[in-house]
Structure 1
Amino acid sequence: MPAQNTKTALITGASAGLGAAYAHRLADRGHDLILVARDTARMESLAAEVRERTGKAVEVLTADLTDDAQLAGVEERLREDASVQVLVNNAGGSLFTPLAGADATAFGDLITLNVTSLTRLTTAAVSGMTRRGSGTIVNISSALALNILPVSAVYSGTKSYVLTFTQALQQELAESAITVQAVLPGAVRTEFWDGSGIDLASFPDEWIMTADDAVDAALAGLDAGEPVTIPSLPDITDWEALEKARGVLVPNLSRSVPAARYRA
């Protein structure tokens, strides 16, 4: 993605945390912004700060992405607004708790936000970007897509979906001018943890990254052409080895007879 760009970036979950950091960084790179979240007051404050600091145009679009009608409005914007060149799918929720005795409705809401909304927004963005000939989609997954915990069954499941969904879309769009990136941050010092069921203070400081550092790393990975960026991973060959191991499995995942160890 070029350092100077007069097009627009639409960022979900843009009122705080990673979303706010993306807003600052993408404005610094020359993008106008559309901020999407539920908290209008916080977005207006962020928008004023970004406008004053960078001079870029910043629009606030209040939407609850778990509400069908409000989600549809954001989808329409992604399909039809020719200025939108970047989508950052950052909106998401967290809930860490054992399934036994858990609130199934809360899990359903988590799946709606982390999976359904992201899928619909990505689909709308691909439609618009395909017509316009180019674009960039950034889908925020999580390190917990790989590091699965006893209390993260639903959360890890949703973030694993984001990763595999993004990887499949990368294959689909490989011959196009649309770039798709998955970002897998670890623990980031944001409000994400409030009410999640895990106290961020229980983690060692060396586990916790700032939102600015996480976004800077994610954008560096995007610039480098990484399809998957794990901001804290020291050696990218570790990820490449995991993907290579998965590739070794593929030829044997569907065969005409069961493996020998399952045959009498």
Structure 2
Amino acid sequence: MTTQHSTALITGASSGIGAVYADRLAARGYNLVLVARREARLQALAADLSGRYGVDVQILTADLSDENGIRTVEETLRNDTRIDTLVNNAGTAQMAPFLSGEVKQHQAINTLNTTALMRLTYAILPRLAQNNSGTVINIASVLSLHARAGSALYSATKAWVFNFTRGLQEEFAESGVRIQAVLPAATATEIWDLSGVSITDLPEGSVMTTDNLVDAALAGLDQGELITIPPMHDIQLWERFEAARLELFASARTGEPAPRYLSH
């Protein structure tokens, strides 16, 4: 992939998946704009990456669960015409019964996981469309395909990211703009410290490292994948899922109630 003169803005870049994306893209020659709340961590990461890879690394301290933080990053995406790649990685989770949290807390999670991602995508896409090039990577989750007790809010936000991304992929299918959805499963990041679930409670061998996750996701991007599920070994599972999804959708276009709903 051509990376000369490319600049990537990465949200949630101070640790975990975002920090590994920063490392891998810097190694490919990308200049970087790193976004997160923790300025000290961003400064340390920027110094390390610029020193090791000789790329330009800028930092932007912003809280994307807050309106002011979203506006700050929007302005950067609109005004800095060097940026041709957006990695929407910032997100959080609270794995707990829905009624155990306050509405304000739920709203902050929803804003970070969905609203901020939508608005940052909207801020960069006009330029990418005009240039007919560029990349948007949205980090969803395998929980976008599944929900269970305690994951109602998180699964819903990641399902939103997944379907938002798929819709954009359809809109830009004939363009030179690449749009990828990445669906991690359990990954060793700090999100577990915030989620209320201990990573040590997960089945042995089920947790992927952030290094492997990002390397697989970027390999999927290089291969032209629209949907990348790094720990899914059997690609036929996805193909059968897609076939069933399309068949189900087609079956709902009859315009008539199913016989089971008609009185006898």
Q: Which TM-score band applies after superposition, normalised by the shorter structure?
A: over 0.9
Matched, 1:120 2:127: no
Q: Hey, what does 1:246 align to over in structure 2?
A: 245
Q: Counterparts in 2 of 1:165-204, with a 5 A limit?
A: 165-204=164-203
Please identify, of 15-24 and 199-208, the stretch whose mean Cα deviation from structure 2 is larger.
199-208
Matched, 1:237 2:236: yes
Q: Hey, what does 1:26 align to over in structure 2?
A: 25
- Once the 2 structures are TM-superposed, how far is the Cα of residue 73 of structure 1 from its aligned partner? 2.0
Q: Hey, what does 2:76 align to over in structure 1?
A: 77
AA of the residue aligned to 1:244:
A
Instruction: Count how many residue pairs are aligned between Structure 1 and Structure 2.
Output: 263
What is the CA–CA distance in structure 2 between the aligned matches of 1:189 and 1:101, rounded to whole Å? 25
AA of the residue aligned to 1:74:
V
8 A Cα contact 2:11 2:36, kept in partner: yes
Matched, 1:67 2:66: yes
Please identify, of 191-200 and 212-221, the stretch whose mean Cα deviation from structure 2 is larger.
191-200
What is the CA–CA distance in structure 2 between the aligned matches of 1:241 and 1:250, rounded to whole Å? 14
8 A Cα contact 2:26 2:32, kept in partner: yes
Q: Counterparts in 2 of 1:35-184, with a 5 A limit?
A: 35-184=34-183
What is the CA–CA distance in structure 2 between the aligned matches of 1:28 and 1:209, rounded to whole Å? 22
8 A Cα contact 2:92 2:194, kept in partner: no
Q: Hey, what does 1:226 align to over in structure 2?
A: 225
- Once the 2 structures are TM-superposed, how far is the Cα of residue 240 of structure 1 from its aligned partner? 1.7
What is the CA–CA distance in structure 2 between the aligned matches of 1:5 and 1:38, rounded to whole Å? 29
8 A Cα contact 1:78 1:128, kept in partner: no
**TM-score normalised to the size of structure 1?**
0.96
8 A Cα contact 1:187 1:208, kept in partner: yes
AA of the residue aligned to 1:30:
G
What is the CA–CA distance in structure 1 between the aligned matches of 2:106 and 2:66, rounded to whole Å? 16
What is the CA–CA distance in structure 1 between the aligned matches of 2:216 and 2:222, rounded to whole Å? 10
- Once the 2 structures are TM-superposed, how far is the Cα of residue 102 of structure 1 from its aligned partner? 2.6
The CA deviation string for residues 115-157 of structure 1, in whole angstroms up to 9 with x for no partner, is: 1000101111212211232110000001111232211000000
Structure 1's unaligned 5+ residue stretches are none
Question: Structure 1 vs Structure 2: percent identity of aligned residues?
Answer: 48
8 A Cα contact 1:10 1:88, kept in partner: yes
SS class of match (2:249): helix
- Once the 2 structures are TM-superposed, how far is the Cα of residue 104 of structure 1 from its aligned partner? 1.8
**TM-score normalised to the size of structure 2?**
0.96
8 A Cα contact 1:9 1:88, kept in partner: yes
- Once the 2 structures are TM-superposed, how far is the Cα of residue 5 of structure 1 from its aligned partner? 2.5
AA of the residue aligned to 1:207:
S
- Once the 2 structures are TM-superposed, how far is the Cα of residue 52 of structure 1 from its aligned partner? 1.0
What is the CA–CA distance in structure 1 between the aligned matches of 2:210 and 2:22, rounded to whole Å? 12
What is the CA–CA distance in structure 2 between the aligned matches of 1:129 and 1:262, rounded to whole Å? 48
Runs of 4+ more than 3 Å apart: none
The CA deviation string for residues 54-75 of structure 1, in whole angstroms up to 9 with x for no partner, is: 0010000111112212211211
Q: Hey, what does 2:9 align to over in structure 1?
A: 10
Q: Hey, what does 1:215 align to over in structure 2?
A: 214
8 A Cα contact 2:12 2:35, kept in partner: yes
Please identify, of 42-51 and 200-209, the stretch whose mean Cα deviation from structure 2 is larger.
200-209
AA of the residue aligned to 2:76:
R
- Once the 2 structures are TM-superposed, how far is the Cα of residue 42 of structure 1 from its aligned partner? 0.1
